[in-house]
Chains A and B, each alone.
Chain A
Amino acid sequence: AQSVTQLDSQVPVFEEAPVELRCNYSSSVSVYLFWYVQYPNQGLQLLLKYLSGSTLVESINGFEAEFNKSQTSFHLRKPSVHISDTAEYFCAVTTSGGYQKVTFGTGTKLQVIP
């Protein structure tokens, strides 16, 4: 069985400050990892994903996440946040091969303060 833990339910941060949203996972097999974002009054959309290759993955809007197998983590970071980054962020995990059931974390609400 796989699981995802997002330790912070809410993260307030001032505009232009850096932010890190934490995600830890548990799985007995190889995993694929994702961050999804849900902007206010919008549906979930994929932000970035790690399937294989480079452990550092980036999104088009400046977020990045690093797959750390030894620490079973996939933390999301941005060096300078913007008001428009205010949203809820969900970490998700699935396993390779066969049926890819995706397990989501409980989400972290990022509130960017002007």
Chain B
Amino acid sequence: GAGVSQSPSNKVTEKGKDVELRCDPISGHTALYWYRQSLGQGLEFLIYFQGNSAPDKSGLPSDRFSAERTGGSVSTLTIQRTQQEDSAVYLCASTSAGTGRYEQYFGPGTRLTVT
């Protein structure tokens, strides 16, 4: 597709379960970002990928959070043993190389609800 896609769009899970969130960036975009958007908190940076490597994981809130990217394309954010405070909208964004690297294209997000 032409834009960044994320799946699922909504996820309801029980506390303690693991979840996987998927991001398909725009084809050819080399950089990929994950953010978390909580009510009244703005966008919280989680992790950045350049190609398949993650030079900046500083935003991951705990070791329950992990992410990977394969083939320089699809990325998966995994949250293990989910907690209620993990409930938020998880956003993915990608950027192209060169001067385009300054403009982030966002996906529609995955709304995660932990019950």
**A residues neighboring B (CB under 8 Å):** 6, 9, 32, 34, 36, 42-46, 49, 51, 90, 94, 99-107
Contacts and interface: CB of A to CB of B under 8 A. Distances in A.
A32 B42 contact: no
B40 interface: yes
B45 A106 contact: no
Given A49-B103, A101-B56, A43 B33 contact: no
Interface of B: 4, 33, 35, 40-43, 45, 48, 50, 55-56, 91, 93, 99, 101-104, 106-109
Contacts of B4: 43
A43 B45 contact: no
Contacts of A100: 101-102
A44 B55 CA distance: 24
